[in-house]
């Protein structure tokens, strides 16, 4: 889901 999506953007 959204909440556990890895934040791989800068």
Partner 1 sequence: MNLFRLAGDMTHLVSVVVLLLKIHTIKSCAGVSLKTQELYALVFAARYLDLFVHFVSLYNTVMKLVFLASSFTIVWYMRRHKIVRRTYDKEHDTFRHHFIVLPCLVLGLLLNEKFTFREVMWAFSIYLEAVAILPQLVLLQRTRNIDNLTAQYVFFLGAYRVLYIFNWIYRYFTEPHFVHWISWIAGIVQTLLYGDFFYYYILSWKNNVKLELPA
Interface residues with partner 1 (CB under 8 A) are 1-3, 5-10
Q: What is the largest CA-CA distance in the chain?
A: 20
Rg (Cα) of the chain, in Å, rounded? Answer: 7
Residue 2 CB, shortest distance to partner 1, in Å, is: 5
The first and second tokens of residue 1, run together, are 């889901």
Minimum gap (Å) between residue 10 Cβ and partner 1 = 5
Shortest Cβ 5–partner 1 spacing (Å): 6
């Amino acid at each position: 889901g959204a909440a556990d999506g890895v934040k791989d953007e800068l």
